[in-house]
Structure 1
Amino acid sequence: MRVRGRLTWGRRARAGAALTALLAGVVAPAVALTPGAAAGAAAAGTPVCQVRDDRLREISGMAATDDGYVVINDGADDEARRRIFFLDQRCAVVRTVAYPSRPRDTEDLAIGRDGTIWVADIGDNDRSRPTIAVWRLAPGADQPVLHRLSYPDRPHDAEALLLDAAGRPLIITKGGSGTVFLYTPTTALRPGATTPLASVGQVTLPTTSTSNPFSFLGRGVITGAASAPDGRRVVLRSYADAFEYDVPDADVVAALTSGTPRITPLPDEPQGESITYSRDGRSLLTVSESADQPPGTRPTILRYPAMAGTASAVPTASAGSATSPAVRPAAGEASDAGNRTWPLAAGAGTLLALLGVAGVLRWRHTARR
C-alpha cells in the first residue's frame, strides 16, 4: 500500500480507538451469533529476528531462502525503498536490486524452483489501473524485467501471488467479503507486451474470530500467499489467519477452489501482509508493516508451526458459488445455513453501521497509502 499523506501515530491511534469502540458496539453481537468461529485466545508467533533497516518499514512480501530472506516494500514514494532487498538470517540487509523503472504498488513476491524471483506489482487501492504487472528477476540478473497484465473483467485490488506447477504467476485478489478470485495469464509473458489474464476460480474463506486490528473485516481479505518448498502445500493469509491447503496433484487452482484449509491464527499482527514457508517447510513465517506503529517499532519476523490448525471453521456465505470449500459443522454446531441468518437478525440499523465501519477502514487505508 503506497503512502499518500501519512497519518501521524497519534491521529492513527485516535482513529483506531474510535473504530474499536464502534466495532465493540456493533460487531460483537453479530460475532456471538457466528457458529464455528475459532474459540479461545490464539498464541502469538515466536520472534525470529528484527528488521532494523529504516528502508524496510512497509514490508509487503517475503520469501525465505537458504541464506535468509528476500523482501519488498509496498511503498513507491521513497526511491531508496524501491528495491528488492536480500536479508541474511539475522534480518540484516546484505544486497539490494533496483527496478529499471518506477513500480506502482508492489505487494507480494515468490521464488520459482529455478531461483527466479517474481515480484507482484498488483496493488490497486482505487481499482483504477488499466494494467498490473509482475517483475521477473532471473538468477544472476542485474535488474528485473517488467511484464504487464490485464484483467478480463474489471480492475481488482490484489496483494497475493503464487506460482503454479508450471511456474506461471497466479494472482489472488484481496477480496473484502470472504470471497477472493484467482487469475492467471492466458499466454506466455513477453516483455513490452500486455498479457491478458483469465479468471480461473474463486475461494470462499472460512470464518474465524481471530483478533486483529481490523476486526471482522480483517478476516475476510487476502494479503499474502506462499508455496511450500516441496510444492505440496500453499498458504493464503489474511490480516488475522493463515489458510493452508494441500496440493496433492500439483494443481494449485484445484487445491484452492475445492480444498478445505487448515487454519493457523496469526493474532494481533499490526499490519500483516507477508507470509512464507521456512526452507524445511515446517514453519510459517510472517512479518508486518511498521510504518504506522509507535515510534521505535521495527518489523519482526514471526514463526508459527505450519501444521497447527484450528477445527470447526465455517465458510462464509457465498450464494451460488460452485467452488466454495465443503466444510461440515462439528457435532453440536449449527449448520452453515443457520450461520447465514445473522445479518437479517441484526436488522437494517446494524447493516448501516457496518457500512459506516467499512468506510472508516477505507479512510484509514487510503490515508496511509
Structure 2
Amino acid sequence: MGSRPGNVMTRGFVVAVLAGATVFAGAGAGAEAEARAEARAGAEARADGDALLFTFKDRRITESSGLAVSPTHKDLYYTHNDSSAGPVFYAVGPNGRTRATFTLRGAEARDWEGMAATKDPVTGAGVLWFADIGDNFDGAWPDVSVYKVTEPTTFTRTALPTILPAVRYRFRYEDGGHNAEGVMVNPRTGRLYIVSKEFSGSVYAAPKRLRADRDNVLRKVGSAPIMATDAAYAPDGSSFVIRTYFSATVYRVPGEQIARVSMPALDQAESITYTPDGQALLTGSEGTGSPVYRVPLPADVLQRTAPKPAATPMASRSIGDDTALVANARADEDADAGVPGSVVAAWLAVAAAATGMITFIARRTR
C-alpha cells in the first residue's frame, strides 16, 4: 500500500481499516464459508508446488512494492521500496542477497508502487520501468510518472548506489485522478498499462507512442479486481495477471478473465510477476526480510494461454490492438475477481464510515 510522505499515521489507519473490514466481513456465516473455501484453495495450491524462492536479506529493503525478473540476466531479480525511500532500486540474486543498488538520476520517488521489465525489440537490451503512481487520496496529484531505464549490464556492490539516467513519462487519466499500484508492459506491442487500486478498479492503456515532452493520456480499457496491488504481463504477451491482497486473476485481454489463482498467505501482498518461462508466478510482500514465493500456474491456465494458430482475422489480432481493447472492455465492469462478495460489501461499509476520519487525520498531518 502506498502512502504520501508525512502521512504515516494516515497510511497506518488505512491499513487498519482494511484489516478491520476483513475481520468484520468474516462475522457472517456466508463469509465464513467463503473464507474456509479460500483456505482450502490456498492449501491445495501449496500442495501443488508453491515454494519459497528466497527472502530479501538486505535490511534496506523494508517495503518491497515492485518485483521484476531480469529479461537478460539469469537468476536476477529487481525490487524497490514504497514511498519516502528515494528513486532507488535493488538487483537481487537467487539467494535473496543484494548484488547492486542503483539510483535514477533526476527522478522523484513520490510514491513508487510497481515496476516492469521488458526487452527492447530492436537492440535486445533489457528495459526497466518504475511507476510513481501511488495516490492514496485518489486524485491529489495532477499527474503521475513512469520512469524508463536501460537495464544495467554490470552489478557491483559499492558504498553508494550506481547512478543511472532515466526517461520520465508523465501521465494523466482521461477520467480524473486515481490511486494505482499496478504497472505492466505488453512484450508484444510495447504498450504500457496502469491498473488502479480502488473498490471499482480499472485497467488503463497508455498511448502506443509515449511522449516525454508532454502528458500522456491514460484511457480505460477494462475493469480490474477490487484493491489491485500489482500486475504483470506473461513473457510471451499471451495474457496478464492482476494481484490483490487475497488472490491473483489471469486475463487474456482486458475484460476477458481466464482464471483465478490462489496465492500464499502474506502479511501484505504487494507484488507479482512471471517467471522467465511463463510457467509460474512470483509474488512478494512488504516488510524487512520479506519472502518471495514461486506459484506454479495451473495446467488449465497454461493450456488456455498457449499460443494458438491465427485461423481468422479476429484471432490474429494483437493483444495491444486498440480495437481489441475496446471490444473487450464491456460486460466485465461489475465483475470482482479479487475478493468475495460479502467481503466487498463489508469493505464498502467500513470505508464509508472511515472516510471522515481519514480526511481529518490528513488535514492534521499536513
TM-score with structure 2 length normalisation? 0.70
Of 174, 187, 196, the residue aligned with 1:173 is 196
- Closer/same/farther in 2, CA of residues 272 and 20 from structure 1, 3 Å limit: closer
Q: Are residues 194 and 53 of structure 1, via their aligned partners in 2, closer, same or farther at CA, if it must alter by over 3 Å?
A: same
Q: CA deviation at 1:221?
A: 1.5
Provide, for residues 275-301 of structure 1, a one-character-per-residue CA deviation record: whole Å limited to 9, x for no partner. 1111222211111001xxxxxx51111
Change (3 A) 1:269 1:181: same
| Inter-CA distance 189–351: structure 2 relative to 1 (3 Å threshold) | closer
Q: Determine whether 1:90 maps to 2:95.
A: yes
What is the CA distance between 1:98 and its match in structure 2?
0.8
The alignment covers a number of residue pairs equal to 301
**Residue ranges of structure 1 left out of the alignment (5+ in a row):** 206-219, 247-254, 291-296, 311-320, 328-338
User: What SS does the aligned partner of 2:42 have?
Assistant: coil
CA change 1:305–1:16 in 2 (3 A) is same
Correspondence for 1:304: 295
CA distance in 2, matches of 1:51, 1:147: 30
> Which residue pairs with 2:76 in the alignment?
68
Q: Provide the aligned C-alpha RMSD in A.
A: 3.9
Q: Quick one: structure 1 residues 187 and 36, their matched pair in 2 at CA, closer, same or farther if it must change by over 3 Å?
A: same
Query: How far is 1:354 from its partner?
Result: 3.9
Matched, 1:160 2:182: yes
What amino acid does structure 2 have at the position aligned with 1:40?
R
Q: Do the aligned residues in 2 keep the contact of 1:263 with 1:309 (CA within 8 Å)? A: no
Aligned to 2:240, the other structure's residue is in SS state strand
User: What is the aligned partner in structure 2 of residue 202 from structure 1?
Assistant: 223
Pick from 51, 62, 68: which aligns with 2:56? 51
Mean CA deviation greater in 350-359 or 167-176: 350-359
- For each residue in 1:316-348, what CA deviation from the matched residue of structure 2 results, as whole angstroms up to 9, or x when unmatched? xxxxx8331899xxxxxxxxxxx98x89xx9xx
Which 5+ residue runs of structure 2 have no aligned equivalent? Answer: 121-125, 154-163, 302-328
Find the counterpart in structure 2 of residue 324 from structure 1: 332
**How far is the alpha carbon of 1:34 from its aligned partner?**
7.0
Offset from partner CA, 1:136-187 (integer Å, 9 cap, x none): 00245922211111111110001111113321211111121xx421222236
- Helix, strand or coil for the counterpart of 2:222? strand
1:118 to 129, 146, 149: 129
Query: What residue identity is the alignment partner of 1:89?
Result: P
User: Residues 199 and 19 of structure 1: is their aligned pair in 2 closer, same or farther, counting only changes over 3 Å?
Assistant: closer
Bigger drift between 300-309 and 15-24 goes to 15-24
Distance in 2, Cα, partners of 1:4 & 1:300: 27
Q: Tell me how far apart the structure 1 counterparts of residues 39 and 59 of structure 2 sit (CA, whole Å).
A: 37
Q: TM-score, normalised by structure 1?
A: 0.69
SS at match of 1:242: strand
What SS does the corresponding residue of 1:260 show, helix, strand or coil? Answer: strand
User: Alignment identity in percent?
Assistant: 28
